[in-house]
Structure 1
Amino acid sequence: MPTSLITAAQLTKRREAQPAPVLLDVNDASVFDAQHLKGAVNANVFEMNFLAQVREKLGLQPEQPVIVYGPNSSSYASRLAADKLVAAGFAEVEEFRGGLEAAIEAGLPLEGDAAKLKALQQPERAQGQLPVDTAESQVRWIGRNLASQHEGTVGIQSGYINVVDGILRGGELVLDLEQISCIDIGDEETGGVLLKHFRDMEFFHIDQYPLAKVQIEHVDFNPHATPGSPNYEVVGSLTLKGVTAPVGAKLVGDSKNKLTWACQGMVEIDRTRWNVIYGSGKFFQHLGMHAVNDHISVNLKLIFGGK
């Protein structure tokens, strides 16, 4: 049976029917705890065990009528929950697509604290200069040739960002090449050969240039980006092997709380711009199995500030 859409007025009437439908709030538990429709029960549709929660924790049966709602009409949470329930055999599922936002606007009976909900929707933002958390952050590299690839990590020595009202404005990161690792080669001896090779002058010449530095010089912030999509485009410079050249990246970043700011992203760099020329077809011919792609992928997971 297809899902029916209902309005706030219809919701009020439906709840007076017998048997009364179960009102299922599919928001995150933190939102439900802050405020929800009176009498609603909660199962987060984004949890992998959503249907198990519905059946086992809440005890809902397929023959029971259910009304689902999420945060608002622009969210797909309630329609996703309705589709899951119908596919699982629930015979009578209705969707109040306007969600909690429409319920508040319509003055429907609620439980919880409006101030608590507002605090969730407008969290405190990180502020000031925040040091990099070297234990929680990670810089991971991937290098490739025609037939295979290797990957590993690079140590982080130090760094910081400047944040104004939760928005990234600048910063720097110092990488420790002495701590470069390869994590995909199980054989220690073979992995050691590769890491020793990285120290050579045609690679990173680590004995002479043990550190690399990233300086953020310009930041474009997109306040309209949806969560999980890049909301920052940063441009700056990378100093590696004594060479400084421009570098840029798209990042997903935000305050975790008033003390912490986090971001993730990926940078593609052409290593030859920093005189890392081993196996490059730009500089050598007849490389055969020794050819190595010029581009290196660098994946960033960076945490700044406190907990």
Structure 2
Amino acid sequence: MKNLKTIAIALVLAVTTMTATAQDKKINAAKSKISWVGEKLTGKHEGTISIKDGVLNFKAGKLSGGNVTVDMNSITVTDLKAGEGKEKLEGHLKAADFFGTDKFATSKIVFKSVKAKTAGVYTVTADLTIKNITKPVTFDLTVAKNSATSTFKVDRTKYGIEYASKSFFESIGDKAIYDEFELTVNLQF
């Protein structure tokens, strides 16, 4: 019976220690921001997408995992004004030949591995799901006291977004849109 009490106390201490060193930090969606830039031969467009929810996991003060869900219906264009094609481009980005937001309302990134690179900087390999297609991405994430930031590129063609891609339509000429778009992510927690 004495052994059973000792084991029980050891288990309680182990769980308490693990709980004290592991911490989940919920992402503040209202204060977080994702900016995007898409380029084409004749220029570029930029805008924002809102975060729906997410969490970053920490162990002993170091990033260990996380996930972020993005509200694809929130995609906006910020380099055009109303009446200058803003509404048309936003509608097209939400259409089936781009992100198909009526069918795929969210995108998600789930961290699979996190490796410390330098103080406060981590190399993250994650599964990125867009239009229900999941592919791996790798990026550096800089973590400060209450924020995490990253800039990385995504190849849209890997997610079935082939519209005006020179990779698929060689004769498209100067109407081609580059396959990669850039995301700048600023998470607040």
| 1:289 alignment counterpart | 174
Matches within 5 A, 1:265-276: 265-276=150-161
Structure 1 unaligned spans of 5+: 1-125
Deviation at 1:203, TM superposition (A): 0.6
Structure 2 unaligned spans of 5+: 1-20
| Secondary structure, aligned partner of 1:276 | coil
Structure 1 distance, partners of 2:83, 2:90, is 10
Tell me which amino acid in the other structure corresponds to 2:166: G
Structure 1 distance, partners of 2:128, 2:121, is 21
Match of 1:159 among 51, 54, 59: 54
1:240 matched to 2:130? The reply is: yes
Structure 1 distance, partners of 2:186, 2:61, is 18
Structure 2 distance, partners of 1:139, 1:153, is 6
* Higher CA-based Rg: 1
Tell me which amino acid in the other structure corresponds to 2:26: P
| Secondary structure, aligned partner of 1:197 | helix
Match of 2:142 among 252, 256, 279: 252
Deviation at 1:186, TM superposition (A): 2.1
What percentage of residue pairs aligned between the two structures are identical? 30
Deviation at 1:189, TM superposition (A): 5.0
Structure 1 distance, partners of 2:185, 2:115, is 18
Structure 1 distance, partners of 2:31, 2:22, is 19
1:137 matched to 2:32? The reply is: yes
| 1:202 alignment counterpart | 97
RMSD: 1.6
Structure 2 distance, partners of 1:188, 1:141, is 21
Deviation at 1:266, TM superposition (A): 0.6
| Secondary structure, aligned partner of 1:157 | strand
8 Å CA contact 2:42, 2:174 repeated in 1 = no
Tell me which amino acid in the other structure corresponds to 2:156: R
Deviation at 1:231, TM superposition (A): 1.5
Deviation at 1:290, TM superposition (A): 2.1
Structure 1 distance, partners of 2:161, 2:45, is 16
Structure 1 distance, partners of 2:181, 2:34, is 12
Structure 1 length as normaliser, TM-score?
0.53
Q: Could you report, residue by residue, the CA deviation over 1:233-271 in whole angstroms, capped at 9, with x for unpaired residues?
A: 0001111101000011112113x2xxxx31111111111
| 2:80 alignment counterpart | 185
Match of 1:298 among 171, 183, 188: 183
Tell me which amino acid in the other structure corresponds to 2:169: F
Tell me which amino acid in the other structure corresponds to 1:240: I
